[in-house]
Chain A
Amino acid sequence: MNAAKTSKRNLNDTKLLILSGKSPIHATVGDIPGYLNSGDLFVINDSGTLPSSFKGHVQRTGLPLELRLASFQGPNVHSLQSWLAFSFGAGDWRIPTEKRGPPPQIFVGDQIIFGNDLSAEVIQVQFECLVQIRFVSDQLEKALYKYGRPIQYSYLASDLKIWDQQTIFSGSPISVEPPSAGFPFTWETIFRLKAKGIQIASITHGSGISSTGSKHLDSLLPLAEWYEVPPETADLVNYAKKKGQNVVALGTTVLRAMESAMRNGRLVASSGLTLLKIIPGHKVQSATSLFTGIHELGTSHMEILNAFCGRQIIEAGYQEAKKRGYLAHEYGDLSLLDC
């Protein structure tokens, strides 16, 4: 699958691949209201994206590194201190992480210095270069934006700016990479859904890092990620399910949050860290349909899709999408799994 080369969004003209177990349907995002029914529920992730790549050095040794935030650790959206992060050898994002030197050794208690007004304390070394950190600053939010740079994608022709990373639902900045299934949407499309009697509900989920450049490290993904399902969303989902209506998740982060909050077939208002991995064999209970981007076969995202529709349907659909020139990755086209 070819990757989208630019962050420019095609919005309503974005291609939409609909997989339902029958022949794939080829539509556009502008057609979406026609595929949902009055009474259906559309659930979105309202997190914003924080610039999550930080250049710094280890205070003990003076050795430089890149600390790339990997996932938000809570305990709520008003505290941006605690994160999981990967440490990489120093270098620009254009140098693949695996081609940089090894990251400097880090131990629990080490201080990583980003500037006079921002540092991070290493709380735990979880696995090789995967660490849990706690940021320290008198003006934390301001300092995070001062030193953080957007995580970039090598397939894009130009650097992403902070506004390129936000969806139309963007709120609390707890995602390190955007919940990108929302990128093709406009509020006009959302209003059309509402006018048709489709309700909109939100969850908050700190979308984690999607790739590290290392197959070895990527096998750890997804990491523990923080989520919150508010009471009103739990009520709306349970009501829609009781009435036999569709519950449509916009993006795999929405699905992960909702599946993590299912108890005895009901969605429960809750928040916390989830370690849930949605893989083939997992029986999805919360959502009946899933909007997601077009992903590369073999990635962790694909496991979620396979869990939703079955490997055979996904792979057949993707082969056809490839022939028809669908574009993959964060700024590419969209699929709707309705199996």
Chain B
Amino acid sequence: MNEFNYFKNKNVVVTGGTSGLGLALAVQLNELGSRVAVLARNDNNIQKLIERYSKIIGIQGDVSKKENIYPLVGEIQSRLGDVEILFNVASYLGQTPLRFLIDTECEDFELALQTNLLGPFRLTKALLPSMLLKGQGVVVNISSDASINPYPKWGGYAVSKAGVDHMSRIFDEELKDQGVRFLSLDPGDMKTPMHFAAIPDANPDHLRDPADSAHKILQLISSKDFTQVRRAL
């Protein structure tokens, strides 16, 4: 049996699904027969995506703002239905070139927390009810090695990702007996717009293709190995 049959006919949401890892996940899940809704801020990027992949549902919105969450969830519920797998991929790196923490604007730090930590928390909280009522569901949060290693200049982003790791662990501890599992995954350094924004002179030959990281993530979920919440791929 194909190890990826697990994803067939599943209702899946991918935030940040028009570029980088989010795009790779959305495209692969679409090919595996999932019903995929992509959330992204940029409407032009959404239009380009759905022109190419007609089955993908494109939903424009910014998860960093509290007032957007229920409108987004209402649109997801109406156009997709009850969500079975949620990928919180959308991330904000911070102002580039990256700065020391001492030089980081408070507002920029706050935006990193809103986008990378509070947004996923709110969206997850609003989409969990149907998973809990059905007793099954998976939430995947995208983390980073910066959540563990104190790299200079990755301050706001790194702090938010450390929060994501621990939020995932706590959610999982509280809800695993209810059939809903959480992962916080470090996908490795990838050839993505975000990575080049952070490190403009990064050598592309040393970076992963986001499609490879997406494939590894889907392999992990389909294996149903949830023994360790935070992992590096």
Instruction: Decide if A and B are genuine partners.
Output: yes
Q: Which residues of A contact B (CB under 8 A)?
A: 44, 46, 48, 50, 77-80, 141-142, 144-146, 161-163, 166, 168-173, 187, 190-191, 194, 200, 202
Bound Cα distance A187, B175 (Å): 10
Bound Cα distance A194, B69 (Å): 29
- Give B81's nearest chain A residue, CB to CB: A78
Known: A46-B130, A170-B129, A187-B132. A145 touches B75 (CB 8 A): yes
In the complex, whether B150 has a CB less than 8 A from a CB of chain A is no
Interface size class of B (residues with CB under 8 A): 20 to 34
Inside 8 A of B133's CB, which chain A residues have their CB? 44, 46, 169, 200, 202
Partner of B130, one of A171, A187, A194, A200: A171
- Asked if B78 and A77 make an inter-chain contact with CB atoms under 8 angstroms apart, the answer reads yes
Q: Apart from A79-B78, A187-B132, what 14 extra A-B contacts exist at CB < 8 Å? A: A77-B77, A77-B78, A77-B81, A78-B78, A141-B71, A141-B74, A142-B71, A142-B75, A145-B70, A162-B67, A169-B129, A169-B133, A171-B77, A173-B78
What is the CB-to-nearest-CB distance from B38 to chain A, in angstroms, rounded to a whole number?
Answer: 15
| Interface pairs (23), CB distance under 8 Å | A46-B129, A46-B133, A48-B73, A78-B81, A141-B71, A141-B78, A141-B79, A142-B60, A142-B71, A144-B74, A145-B74, A162-B67, A162-B70, A166-B70, A166-B126, A171-B77, A173-B70, A173-B78, A187-B132, A191-B177, A191-B178, A194-B178, A200-B133
Bound Cα distance A168, B178 (Å): 15
Describe B's contact surface by its main secondary structure: helix
In the complex, whether B82 has a CB less than 8 A from a CB of chain A is yes
- Asked if A48 and B75 make an inter-chain contact with CB atoms under 8 angstroms apart, the answer reads no
Describe A's contact surface by its main secondary structure: mixed
Q: Which residues of B contact A (CB under 8 A)?
A: 60, 66-67, 69-71, 73-75, 77-79, 81-82, 126, 129-130, 132-133, 177-178
Partner of B71, one of A79, A145, A168: A145
- Asked if B71 and A162 make an inter-chain contact with CB atoms under 8 angstroms apart, the answer reads yes
Most buried by B among A48, A169, A202: A48
Bound Cα distance A144, B71 (Å): 9
- Asked if A80 and B78 make an inter-chain contact with CB atoms under 8 angstroms apart, the answer reads yes
- Give A50's nearest chain B residue, CB to CB: B74
Partner of B70, one of A163, A169, A190: A163
The 4 A-B pairs with the shortest beta carbon distances in the complex, nearest first, are A145-B71, A141-B75, A173-B74, A172-B77
Inside 8 A of B81's CB, which chain A residues have their CB? 77-78
What is the CB-to-nearest-CB distance from A47 to chain B, in angstroms, rounded to a whole number?
Answer: 10
Inside 8 A of A161's CB, which chain B residues have their CB? 67
Inside 8 A of A187's CB, which chain B residues have their CB? 132
Inside 8 A of A141's CB, which chain B residues have their CB? 71, 74-75, 78-79
